[in-house]
């Protein structure tokens, strides 16, 4: 905020509910008066043309009736007004008014009044041009170095520059690569038009190049322009400024050099006439308009920049010299000589607030009141400080409202001991086997009433639940809420874990946060082995074997795995066979003479689930008997080579996936290129042979489909390989823990180092930590 406000010299409010923009303001001696004083010309989107000559009796007066010289309703919206030498045969100034579909040039003249009503002003239409295209903006100047007259260039909404030599139309040219119109200006020193394209780059076009380029009676394709008569329209120089431009202006304060000023959305650029950056100023505000004017010092550029904070900043090159506050947001700013007062700043807002002001200051009459001085009582301050410190300590050490209500929501889960009589699996077969399902019941009980409680069920892929998301609008206190769901195997490979998690989230309101703090409570449940496994005939040979040592006599496998006993075999006390419903087999043997158990299988990663289940059941068996010193150990060699083979398989699939995606991208680019060529051939008015493009398109299409199928198949194999790698990692960590007799905390550290395995997927998975 500025300390200084713009000194109001004269102001007026134009019309009611009218709209104005950047090109609607012009300050010039439009009536060619003898005194040479400027007049203010304003056009509105409602079609009203007004000309003012302010005559304030005292500084700050509003508009009087005699200040309005002329007001005419031209019916069509006025896009821009300019004053120049637009009529042939005379060097007098005339008014050019740009409408959407026509350009009108008027002569403004005044008649000396013979009575007290004063002078009378009128406008006379000298000529007009009806435009074939919708106009956007215009610029004028002595194009081609003509003397004593100004030519007009109009930019249309579709990118055509239409040049008029006063009463006659000269030619029109389309700008190359045009998308949206930008600000337009003319540089007399280089005889070129400068604009800012939708590519966010400043472009300069020579007038001679425009004059000798191919005529633009209609827009042509690039290929047809190359074959047509005349020369192509080429740009003289370009500069990428990286943002859209609000306005552009050329200043030439000396004969030796000129500057191109560009006002961007966040930056202000000053360029040399060859497109090189002279300086650049980063603006800390959102600009609305700007105007360069003659600087006091030689070689410097002074600029007025208005912004959307009702401020007007005055810069000399990149240095801020003055900042003043306006009563409105300016959309156009001009400087003129009014009533002999030079340097009057004329600003116009979008709702028609027209103001003439100058820079200055008013002395401040405000005096700060005296503050009553009183002596400081340090003893009272010490007592107050101790009381505050005691309150802070009590808050930090007290359990608080959250700790008092820590256990008001409890959640636990139970898994059915038998499989579902009717399977709830979405796909009732994996390979040649029927897929069973098991029922899981999750129970929640709250001590207080809760709103919008969410329950989520997580199981390891490819296990799936019939429903894994539940939302409860309200939970009544002390009422047990039971949710039943079924878990089953969804894919044709094994999960890495047979554990699941039930997680409930809710918000706990506090005094400091009425909206509540997110709280999470969770519990884990263990799924039965028979969900993915069936009893089978033991296998005598296997490629991969593990031996687990214990410090207790061997236990009958029938008592450890009662659900997998086969009544036809009597020798199952020491050997037991398992067959996963995915097809692989695992055999467990208990030694008759030593305290060892052997697990063997044809696949290394399949050993994990049975080995873990064996150690858990042995631990549970001896805990029931009251034995507390039972331990398991591993004395063999860690199967690192087998583990590395699983890693290599997973890595090869990842590399293969990248190659397939790269090939698919290349074929897709080739497919689109062939489509473009075919489309060009079909659009051509003169039929031409396809040159086997249709055959090439069909072959490329088949390759794209085949590569897409290969990418999908590789992704499916990658998911299975990821699960196998995770199982193998679990097994290796378990064997290291048994080998080195690691504690549970040490094993957790090892898992944290080896098991942050993330699935190879584009999806983002967020895991919330437990807070209770």
The pLDDT, as a whole number, for residue 374 is: 65
Q: Of 634, 661, 678, at which residue does a domain stop? A: 634
203 & 328 share domain: yes
Judged by average pLDDT, the poorest of 104-118, 182-196, 202-216, 283-297 is 104-118
Residue 479: CATH number of its domain = 2.60.40
What digits encode the pLDDT tens for the residues 316-330? 888 998 888 888 999
**Measuring CA to CA, how many Å separate 593 from each of 274, 547, 552?**
97, 14, 12
Same domain, 65 and 195: yes
Q: What pLDDT, on a 0 to 100 scale, did the predictor assign at position 428?
A: 54
Residue 229 has pLDDT above 90, yes or no: no
| pLDDT for res 465 | 92
- Residues 191/195/197/201 CA torsion (nearest 10 deg): 80
Whether residue 350 lies inside any domain: the answer is yes
| Cα–Cα distance, 375 to 384 (Å, whole number) | 17
Structure token pair of residue 71: 């007001």
Q: Which element (helix H / strand E) includes 248?
A: strand 245-251
Same domain for 584 and 455? no
Q: Are 505 and 520 in contact (CB under 8 A)?
A: yes
Q: What integer is the mean pLDDT of 537-542?
A: 85
Is the CB of residue 510 less than 8 Å from the CB of residue 517? Answer: yes
pLDDT for position 760: 57
Higher pLDDT, 341 or 119: 341
Last residue of a domain, one of 634, 653, 669: 634
Binned at pLDDT 50, 70 and 90, residue 119 comes out as confident
**Could you please report the per-residue DSSP string of 731-744?**
HHHHHHHHHHT--H
Mean pLDDT of 591-603: 89
Q: Say which residue, 617 or 36, is predicted with more confidence.
A: 617
Same domain, residue pair 416 and 525? yes
**Is the domain of 556 the same as that of 524?**
no
Q: How far is 458 from 110, CA to CA, in rounded Å?
A: 87
Q: What is the pLDDT of residue 227?
A: 37
In a domain, 388, yes or no: no
Q: Which of 50-64, 168-182, 232-246 has the lowest mean pLDDT?
A: 50-64
- Give me the sign of the Cα torsion angle 411, 417, 420, 425: positive
User: CATH no. for residue 261?
Assistant: 2.130.10.10
DSSP reduced 3-state for 303: strand
Q: In this structure, are 112 and 248 located in the same domain?
A: yes
Number of domains in the chain: 4
Per-residue tokens: 353: 């607030």
* Whether the predicted pLDDT of 466 surpasses 70: yes
Angle 222-220-694 from CA coordinates, rounded to 5°: 60
**Same domain membership, residue 454 and residue 342:** no
Confidence (pLDDT) at 393: 82
Residue 760 placed within a domain? no
Q: What is the pLDDT of residue 366?
A: 56
pLDDT at 752: 86
Which pLDDT does position 636 carry in this prediction? 87
Q: Are 468 and 458 in contact (CB under 8 A)?
A: yes
Q: Are residues 520 and 537 in the same domain?
A: no
Q: How is residue 175 annotated by DSSP? A: P
Distance CA(258)–CA(250), nearest Å, equals: 7
What is the structure's pLDDT at 400? 43
- 722 in a structural domain: yes
One domain for residues 473 and 433: yes
pLDDT in tens, 61-117: 677 878 888 999 998 999 999 999 999 888 899 999 999 999 999 999 887 765 555
Q: How far apart are CA 203 and CA 244, in angstroms?
A: 13
- Residues with Cβ within 8 Å of 67's Cβ and at least 6 positions away in sequence, in order, are 10, 12, 52, 53, 54, 55
Contacts of 427 (CB under 8 A, 6+ apart): 435, 490
Give the domain extent around 180.
6-215+233-359
Are 141 and 73 in the same domain?
A: yes
Inside any domain, residue 244? yes
User: What pLDDT sits at residue 127?
Assistant: 93
Q: Among 111-120, 466-475, 554-563, 718-727, whose mean pLDDT is lowest?
A: 111-120
pLDDT of residue 396: 65
Is 222 contained in some domain?
no
Q: pLDDT for 559-575, tens place per residue? A: 888 888 764 455 557 88
pLDDT for 546 beyond 50: yes
Question: What is the C-alpha separation between 487 and 441, in angstroms, rounded?
Answer: 11
Looking at 238-252, 310-324, 396-410, which range is the least confident one? 396-410
Decide if 566 is inside a domain.
yes
Residue 5 is classified by DSSP as B
240 lies in the same domain as 354: yes
Whether residues 604 and 650 share a domain: the answer is no
Tell which of 634, 664, 690 closes a domain.
634
pLDDT at 756: 64
């Amino acid at each position: 905020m500025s300390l200084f406000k713009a000194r109001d010299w004269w102001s007026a409010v134009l019309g009611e509910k009218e709209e104005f923009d950047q090109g609607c303001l012009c300050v010039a001696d439009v009536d060619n008066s003898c005194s040479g004083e400027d007049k203010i010309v304003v056009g509105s989107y409602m079609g009203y043309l007004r000309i003012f000559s302010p005559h304030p009796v005292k500084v700050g007066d509003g508009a009087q009736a005699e200040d309005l010289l002329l007001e005419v309703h031209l019916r069509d919206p006025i896009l821009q007004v300019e004053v120049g030498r637009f009529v042939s045969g005379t060097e007098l100034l005339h008014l050019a008014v740009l409408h959407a579909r026509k350009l009108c040039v008027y002569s403004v003249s005044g008649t000396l009044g013979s009575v007290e009503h004063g002078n009378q002003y009128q406008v006379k239409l000298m000529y007009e041009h009806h435009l074939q295209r919708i106009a956007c903006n215009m610029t004028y100047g002595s194009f081609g170095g003509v003397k004593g007259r100004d030519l007009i260039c109009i930019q249309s909404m579709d990118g055509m520059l239409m040049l008029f030599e006063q009463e006659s139309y000269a030619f029109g040219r389309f700008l190359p690569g045009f998308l949206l119109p930008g600000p337009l200006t003319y540089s007399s020193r280089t005889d070129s038009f400068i604009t800012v394209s939708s590519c966010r780059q400043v472009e300069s076009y020579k007038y001679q190049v425009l004059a000798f380029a191919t005529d633009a009676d209609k827009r042509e394709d690039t290929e047809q322009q190359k074959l047509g008569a005349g020369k192509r329209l080429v740009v003289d120089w370009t500069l990428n400024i990286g943002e859209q431009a609000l306005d552009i202006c050329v200043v030439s304060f000396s004969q030796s050099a000129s500057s191109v000023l560009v006002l961007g959305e966040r930056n202000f650029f000053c360029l040399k006439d060859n497109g090189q950056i002279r300086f650049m100023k980063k603006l800390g505000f959102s600009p609305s308009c700007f105007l360069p004017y003659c600087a006091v010092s030689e070689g410097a550029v002074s600029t007025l920049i208005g912004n959307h904070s009702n401020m007007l900043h005055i810069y000399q090159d990149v240095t801020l010299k003055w900042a003043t506050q306006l009563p409105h947001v300016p959309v156009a700013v001009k400087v003129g000589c009014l009533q002999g007062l030079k340097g009057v700043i004329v600003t116009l807002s979008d709702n028609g607030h027209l103001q003439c002001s100058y820079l200055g200051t008013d002395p401040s009459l405000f005096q700060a009141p005296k503050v009553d001085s009183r002596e400081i009582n340090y003893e009272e301050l010490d007592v107050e400080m101790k009381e505050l410190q005691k309150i802070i300590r009590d808050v930090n050490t007290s359990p608080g409202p959250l700790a008092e209500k820590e256990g008001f929501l409890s959640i636990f889960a139970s898994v059915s001991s038998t499989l579902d009589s009717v399977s709830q699996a979405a796909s009732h077969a994996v390979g040649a086997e029927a897929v069973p399902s098991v029922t899981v019941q999750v129970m929640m009980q709250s001590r207080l009433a809760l709103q919008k409680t969410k329950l989520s069920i997580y199981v390891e892929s490819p296990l799936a639940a019939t429903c894994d998301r539940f939302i409860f609008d309200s939970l009544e206190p002390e009422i047990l809420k039971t949710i039943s769901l079924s878990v089953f195997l969804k894919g044709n490979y094994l999960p890495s874990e047979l554990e699941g998690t039930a997680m409930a989230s809710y918000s706990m309101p506090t005094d400091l946060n009425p909206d509540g703090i997110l709280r999470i409570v969770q519990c884990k449940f263990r799924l039965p082995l028979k969900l993915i496994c069936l009893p089978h005939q033991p296998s005598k040979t296997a490629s991969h074997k593990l031996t687990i040592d214990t410090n207790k006599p061997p236990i009958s496998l029938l008592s450890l795995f009662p659900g997998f006993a086969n009544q036809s075999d009597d020798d199952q006390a020491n050997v037991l066979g398992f067959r996963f419903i995915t097809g692989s087999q695992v055999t467990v043997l208990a030694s008759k003479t030593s305290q060892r158990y052997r697990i063997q299988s044809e696949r290394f990663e399949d050993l994990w689930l049975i080995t873990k289940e064996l150690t858990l059941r042995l631990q549970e068996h001896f805990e029931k008997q009251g034995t507390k010193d039972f331990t398991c150990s591993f004395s063999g060699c860690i199967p690192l080579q087998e583990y590395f083979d699983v890693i290599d398989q997973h890595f090869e699939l990842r590399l293969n996936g990248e190659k397939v995606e790269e090939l698919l991208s290349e074929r897709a680019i080739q497919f689109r290129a062939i489509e473009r060529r075919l489309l060009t051939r079909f659009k051509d008015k003169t039929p031409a042979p396809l040159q086997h493009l249709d055959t090439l398109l069909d072959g490329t299409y088949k390759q794209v489909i085949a590569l897409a199928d290969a990418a999908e198949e590789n992704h499916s194999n990658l998911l299975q390989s990821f699960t196998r790698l995770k199982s193998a990692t679990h097994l290796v960590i378990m064997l290291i823990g048994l080998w080195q007799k690691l504690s549970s905390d040490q094993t957790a550290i090892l898992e944290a180092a080896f098991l942050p395995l993330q699935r190879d997927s584009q999806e983002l998975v967020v895991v919330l930590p437990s807070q209770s």
